[in-house]
Structure 1
Amino acid sequence: MKYIGFILFTVMTNAAAQLMLKQGMLSLGAVSFEGVNPIIRMLQIVFSPWVFLGLCTFVISMASHLYVLSKVELSFAYPFLSLAYVAVAVFAYFIFREDLNAWRIAGIALICVGTVLIAQSDRSHRDTTVASSSTSTQTSEFVQ
């Protein structure tokens, strides 16, 4: 739990990047490659302000995620990224007026429950590690 702030920063920058990309694509309108050089069109998309900002935010998110991965187990850190789905769904509801129906809310609730269970697994792992190290310390005291 020591690195939870970095994990949540990764989640929020990931979600923010998605929202910026969506805004960028909305501002560009329907994308068509007909009659236009595809490379030129891709560059126009990538360098449009919202899309470019979203891609830059993804780079920040990935840098943060790499730092987290250097500190905690992948099986602990990676499931937290699912919270980005939660943040995106909630913000998309408020910003883009996207649908947030009962099925989506149920899915969001399941994601949250799963993330809490994974967070608890780290706590129980630490408790087991502390208990086993104190047991081995006590055992070594009896051996002397």
Structure 2
Amino acid sequence: MNYIPLILSGVCLNALAQVFLKKGMLMVGYFDFSLVNIAQIIFKVAGNPFIILGLGCYMFSVALWLLVLSRVEVSFAYPFLSIGYILTAIIGYSFFHENLSISRLTGIFFICLGVVFISKR
């Protein structure tokens, strides 16, 4: 059976979790860690819908990942997680206007190439 779609679903959910967490933290804003404001920060973070959505995506991606690991070799499945780097770079560029320089694009190319080699049994 081909488990690559299941692996990619988990990877995409993990990347989506990162995007939701980033959006949530942009809404929370910059803060300093100190005992004085710890309760306020926890309240702001825990009550943010994007943080909650991101954590939910993480939980579901972990459940999928456990399913994957019960069926395929970890040395086959684990390299696919690097696709998350690609997805988050593209989403970060598209939605958050983050830098996507030539060096990052080159790195993404090599990640893609590596995943192609790994996926060939």
- Indicate the TM-score class for this superposition, using the shorter chain for normalisation: over 0.9
1:42 deviation in Å?
2.2
User: CA RMSD for the aligned pairs?
Assistant: 1.4
The TM-score normalised by the length of structure 1 is 0.79
The residue aligned with 2:74 is 74
Segments of structure 1 that go 5 or more residues without pairing to the other structure are 123-144
Segments of structure 2 that go 5 or more residues without pairing to the other structure are none
The TM-score normalised by the length of structure 2 is 0.93
Matches within 5 A, 1:10-89: 10-34=10-34, 35-36=36-37, 38-89=38-89
Given the superposition, is the C-alpha separation of residues 28 and 40 from structure 1 closer, same or farther in structure 2, using an over 3 Å criterion? closer
Corresponding letter in the other structure for 2:106: A
Detail structure 1 runs of 4+ shifted over 3 Å in the superposition: none
The residue aligned with 2:111 is 111
Task: Give the greater-gyration-radius structure (CA).
Answer: 1
Corresponding letter in the other structure for 2:17: A
Contact 2:16 2:54 (8 Å CA) reproduced: yes
Residue by residue over 1:25-54, the C-alpha shift from the partner in whole angstroms, topping out at 9 and shown as x without a partner, is: 001111234432x24522431331111110
Contact 2:28 2:44 (8 Å CA) reproduced: no
Residue by residue over 1:5-39, the C-alpha shift from the partner in whole angstroms, topping out at 9 and shown as x without a partner, is: 10010110010000000000001111234432x24
Report percent identity of matched pairs: 43
Corresponding letter in the other structure for 1:85: Y
Residue by residue over 1:83-130, the C-alpha shift from the partner in whole angstroms, topping out at 9 and shown as x without a partner, is: 00000001111000111110000000010000000001x2xxxxxxxx
The residue aligned with 1:142 is none
Q: How many residues align?
A: 120
The residue aligned with 2:90 is 90
Matches within 5 A, 1:119-134: 119-120=119-120, 122=121
Equivalent-residue separation in structure 2 for 1:76 and 1:18 (angstroms): 23
